[in-house]
């Protein structure tokens, strides 16, 4: 996942200065702001794991807005004397950390942020603007969100509406009305936030408001606007942020990985931040463990890139054992459909081939006939191109991204990172849109693609040797590589969506929202904006006098946790109504309205993209759209599944592993009580409840079983007594007693979990049944909190990772048998422990037997794996 964080550094500097107590460097220079900025940047990197970073800067030249309005920011006082000498130190900090930064003369950091966010919107899966500035909320849209690190809050479109009372696209008009005292923007004297919200809700834009002043019902607002039209227009000019600055970086050039070198250490010593040397060592940010034993080869001069035809390709790869490929296309989501060129490297030559869509399919035949190992950065688009061309892709291939994931799943796996880590130099960024009107390619593109494909060829033996050194070849060769071919086929097949059903569901959910709003009005006696936390807080805690659960800096907290607590008290129906309202609003925006827009016009299906190298545990994820997060906890969430249907004339078949992780825990721990329960097909949660609460099995209540279920899963993920107390809403003392009783009855489980932590501390990694490893450098940390987090991963990874590997193996085996038997039924979805198939009716019984045998027989354990199956005309009915 490509994630960009744009840092509003001026915002950070002032926040840090006032938040951190006075600190001084050894030479007496104040450094509290520098310390705060370092803490904030470090927290961004560790907590949010960006792949790219841009620091946005103000400049000394000032702002063009000062020309428009001389009083702009005129009320700002000079920076405090203690802060002034820290500005150059922050500059130096940014420099030694190697953070990419952009500034533009006569423009402000906000203009840089606006230009980067809007111009790069389609280049990233997520863009977080790290700032507390409300002006920047105008850019929140799709992947662009605001990250307020002081409140640890990420603002999406609906969150902006909750906070400001207007949507992001209305922020400029809103601020034009109310003004901004911090920037000395006048606004309209006499109109406050509530009045501005009402005007925008009624008229939409500032221009419409000014054109309809006589129609405004509120006399005060009408008079204020009539007297201050010019101020409103001026304010809009000042508030509107420039978005078309020429940026000095291409999106990929903002790629960032924190490295602690001698220069960083010297700076930290100079300013007296010696504790940071320990903190950074704890998190092992200095160098990835995979690179420590690797000697970076000396960079050799790139070979001249020749322009080839397909005939040249055929001639030049004959007799080669290994060839490297990289393809060039303009649609990241449908790469198999839009190849326009490719680069090829052999041991002797490097070539560049411009392609038509037909030629792209022909080249697969040439590659297939060469019988060479095909090395590529990501193999799925090549496999899909072969499938679309009607060629069975049974050539051997090596996938660099997947190999790098096996070596260190915690890192980024883009080609630039691999080249810098293993080859020791920066890869040139591939240009976009370099073909001219006649389809000719630029010399720059040809040269850069040549360098990229040569780097791919050089990386192959290095990564292969590294896997051998780490003894992780088995999961790569037996699971990950054959699985990519399975995922390629599943993506191409897609899943059908019932669009008319989703339209009806949109109407149903909209009706439910109206009904909830009416019920709230009835219960509250007044109409309020349910999207406004402020109004909701006033209603709940002032008007209705419900107990205040938690407060924030700006008022009452009305988050989901607070509403759930209030709903449990059953003092008033409104908290429960608010929870339902928010759930439906989210379902509408995230799924009901969005999914139909993602149906392919060609196939009439949704084609999700399965990602095998995103989750460090080894679990698959999916995106564009993410079908693994379709809600299941509520009835409204489950309704979404009714829209996922089989192809015409077919039926859906699901196969879901039952309690696979608990079965693995029983096997690994060799706990007799757990094994006995599974072998005799007893409810494991009822069995656990009977043991923990010391009651006969038949006397276990529903609440006891629910508590036992939380204990079973919680302890498997390293949950503490505090965590369990929060989950079950009980005292920490009671939670500790439950855990003690659990380990008395299931003592082998405690020995196994303790053994996992001990093994990880000795080896530095956690390992699955198939040999997949997850590096845990923090397991040796002297920071207790950091070490505890690593211990939880050490407990969880072998179990969750093994479960992920088991379903991968089942998928590989099932797909192979489908091909061998020439069955028409297709595997179309994988969602955690569940597989879904699009089945031809006459193959249904055969498919049930095949799938159950392969899933339950994927591995041999002390307890039998169990699969629950269902059929139906939609995903919802697969019970």
Residue with the larger pLDDT of the pair 75 and 210: 210
CA-CA distances (angstroms) from residue 707 to 693, 727, 729, 747, 846? Answer: 10, 9, 10, 19, 40
Confidence of residue 281 (pLDDT cuts 50, 70, 90): low
Q: Could you write out the three-class secondary structure of 483-512?
A: HHHHHHHHHHHCEEECHHHHHHHHHHHHHH
Crossing angle of helices 747-763/732-745, nearest 10°? Answer: 100
β-sheet bridge partners, residue 520: none
pLDDT at 683: 85
pLDDT at 391: 81
Q: What counts of helices (H) and strands (E) characterise the chain?
A: 35, 25
- DSSP-assigned letter for residue 554: T
* Residue 435: pLDDT over 70: no
Q: Are 636 and 870 in contact (CB under 8 A)?
A: no
Phi, psi of 584 (to 5 degrees): -65, -40
β-sheet bridge partners, residue 523: none
Query: Tokens 């069995």 appear where?
Result: 687
Q: What is the mean pLDDT of residues 842-849?
A: 96
Each residue of 781-823: pLDDT tens digit? 766 666 777 888 898 889 999 999 999 999 999 999 999 999 9
Q: Which CATH number fits domain 516-606: 1.20.1060.10, 1.10.10.10, 3.90.1300.10, 3.40.50.1820?
A: 1.20.1060.10
Q: Which CATH number fits domain 3-160+242-254: 3.40.50.300, 3.40.605.10, 3.30.70.260, 3.40.50.1010?
A: 3.40.50.1010
Name the segment(s) of the chain with CATH classification 3.30.420.10. Answer: 305-494
Q: What is the mean pLDDT of residues 522-539?
A: 83
pLDDT at 297: 62
Q: Is the pTM of this model over 0.75?
A: no
Distance CA 109, CA 55 (A): 9
CATH class of 305-494: alpha beta
Each residue of 487-502: pLDDT tens digit? 999 999 999 999 999 9
pLDDT at 436: 36
Each residue of 550-595: pLDDT tens digit? 776 567 888 887 888 888 888 889 999 999 998 998 888 888 988 9
> Cβ atoms within 10 A of the Cβ of 731, count?
11
Structure-token pair, residue 663? 């079965």
Name the segment(s) of the chain with CATH classification 3.40.50.1010. Answer: 3-160+242-254
Name the segment(s) of the chain with CATH classification 1.10.150.20. Answer: 669-802
Q: Which helix (H) or strand (E) holds 344?
A: strand 339-345
Name the segment(s) of the chain with CATH classification 1.20.1060.10. Answer: 516-606
Q: What is the mean pLDDT of residues 215-241?
A: 85
The CATH code for residues 669-802 is 1.10.150.20
Query: Tokens 């991204």 appear where?
Result: 401
Query: Tokens 């880590």 appear where?
Result: 421
> Cβ atoms within 10 A of the Cβ of 792, count?
15
Mean pLDDT (the chain) is 85
pLDDT at 286: 36
């Amino acid at each position: 996942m490509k994630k960009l964080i744009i840092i509003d550094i001026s915002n950070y500097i002032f926040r840090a200065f006032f938040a951190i107590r006075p600190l001084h460097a050894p030479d007496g220079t104040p450094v509290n702001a520098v310390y705060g900025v370092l803490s904030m940047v470090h927290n961004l990197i560790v907590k949010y794991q960006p792949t790219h970073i841009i620091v946005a800067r103000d400049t000394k030249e000032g702002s063009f807005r000062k020309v428009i309005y001389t009083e702009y920011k005129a009320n700002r006082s000079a920076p405090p004397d203690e802060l002034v000498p820290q500005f150059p130190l922050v500059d130096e900090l940014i420099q030694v950390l190697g953070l990419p930064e952009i500034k533009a003369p006569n423009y402000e950091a906000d203009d840089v942020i606006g230009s980067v966010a809007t111009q790069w919107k389609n280049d990233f899966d997520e863009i977080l603007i790290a700032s507390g500035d409300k002006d920047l909320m105008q850019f929140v849209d799709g992947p662009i969100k605001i990250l307020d690190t002081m409140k640890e809050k990420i603002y999406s479109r609906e969150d902006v509406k909750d906070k400001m009372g207007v949507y992001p696209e209305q922020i400029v008009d809103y601020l034009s009305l109310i003004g901004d005292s911090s920037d000395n923007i006048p606004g309209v004297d006499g109109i406050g936030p509530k009045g501005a919200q009402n005007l925008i809700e009624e008229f939409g834009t500032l221009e419409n408001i000014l054109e309809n002043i006589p129609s405004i019902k509120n006399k005060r607002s009408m008079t204020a606007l009539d007297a201050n039209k010019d101020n409103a227009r001026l304010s809009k000019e000042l508030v509107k942020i420039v978005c078309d600055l020429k940026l000095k970086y291409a999106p990929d050039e903002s790629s960032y990985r924190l490295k602690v070198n001698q220069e960083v250490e010297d700076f930290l010593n100079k300013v007296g931040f010696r504790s940071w040397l320990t903190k950074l060592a704890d998190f092992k940010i200095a160098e990835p463990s995979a690179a420590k034993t690797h000697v970076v080869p000396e960079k050799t001069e790139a070979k001249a890139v020749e322009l080839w035809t397909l005939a040249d390709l055929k001639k030049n790869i004959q007799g080669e054992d290994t060839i490297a490929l990289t393809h060039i296309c303009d649609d990241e989501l449908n790469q198999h459909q839009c190849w326009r060129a490719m680069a090829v490297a052999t041991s002797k030559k490097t070539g560049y081939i411009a392609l038509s869509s037909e030629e792209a399919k022909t080249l697969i035949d040439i590659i297939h006939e060469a019988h060479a190992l095909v090395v590529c950065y990501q193999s799925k688009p090549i496999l899909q191109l072969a499938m679309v061309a009607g060629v069975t892709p049974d050539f051997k291939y090596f996938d660099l991204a997947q190999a790098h994931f096996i070596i260190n799943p915690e890192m980024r796996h883009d080609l630039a990172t691999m080249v810098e880590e293993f080859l020791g130099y920066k890869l040139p960024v591939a240009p976009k849109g370099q073909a001219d009107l006649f389809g000719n390619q630029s010399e720059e593109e040809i040269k850069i693609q040549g360098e990229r494909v040569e780097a791919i060829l050089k990386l192959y033996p290095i990564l292969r040797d590294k896997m051998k050194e780490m003894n992780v070849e088995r999961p790569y060769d037996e699971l990950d590589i054959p699985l990519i071919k399975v995922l390629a086929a599943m993506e191409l097949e897609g899943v059908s969506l019932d669009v008319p059903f989703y339209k009806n569901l949109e109407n149903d959910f909209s009706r439910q929202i109206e009904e909830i709003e009416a019920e709230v009005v009835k219960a509250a006696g007044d109409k309020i904006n349910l999207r406004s936390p402020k109004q909701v807080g006033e209603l709940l805690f002032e008007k209705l006098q419900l107990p205040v659960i938690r407060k924030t800096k700006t008022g009452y907290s009305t988050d989901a946790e607070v509403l759930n607590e209030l709903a449990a008290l059953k003092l008033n129906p409104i908290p429960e109504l608010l929870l339902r309202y928010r759930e439906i609003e989210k379902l509408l925006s995230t799924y009901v309205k969005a999914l139909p827009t993602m149906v392919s016009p060609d196939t009439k299906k949704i084609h999700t993209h399965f990602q095998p190298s995103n989750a460090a545990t080894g679990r698959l994820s999916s995106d564009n759209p993410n079908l693994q997060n379709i809600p299941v906890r509520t009835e409204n969430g489950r309704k979404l599944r009714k829209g996922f249907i089989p192809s015409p004339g077919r039926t859906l078949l699901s196969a879901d592993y039952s309690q696979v992780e608990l079965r693995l825990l029983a096997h690994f721990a060799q706990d007799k009580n757990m094994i006995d329960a599974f072998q005799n097909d007893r409810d494991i949660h009822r069995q656990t409840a009977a043991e923990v609460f010391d009651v006969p099995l038949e006397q276990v209540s529903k609440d006891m079983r629910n508590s036992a279920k939380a204990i079973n899963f919680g302890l498997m993920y390293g949950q503490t007594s505090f965590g369990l107390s929060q989950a079950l809403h009980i005292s920490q003392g009671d939670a500790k007693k439950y855990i003690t009783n659990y380990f008395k009855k299931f003592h082998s489980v405690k020995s196994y979990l303790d053994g996992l932590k001990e093994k990880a501390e000795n080896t530095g990694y956690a390992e699955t049944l198939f040999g997949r490893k997850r590096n845990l450098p923090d397991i040796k940390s002297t920071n207790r909190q950091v070490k505890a987090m690593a211990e939880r991963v050490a407990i969880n990874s072998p179990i969750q990772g093994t479960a992920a590997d088991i379903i991968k193996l089942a998928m590989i085996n099932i797909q192979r048998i489908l091909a061998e038997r020439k069955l028409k039924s297709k595997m179309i979805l994988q969602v955690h422990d569940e597989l879904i198939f699009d089945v031809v009716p006459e193959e249904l019984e055969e498919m049930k037997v095949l799938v159950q045998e392969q899933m339950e027989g994927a591995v041999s354990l002390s307890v039998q794996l169990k699969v629950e199956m269902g059929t139906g005309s939609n995903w919802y009915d697969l019970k």
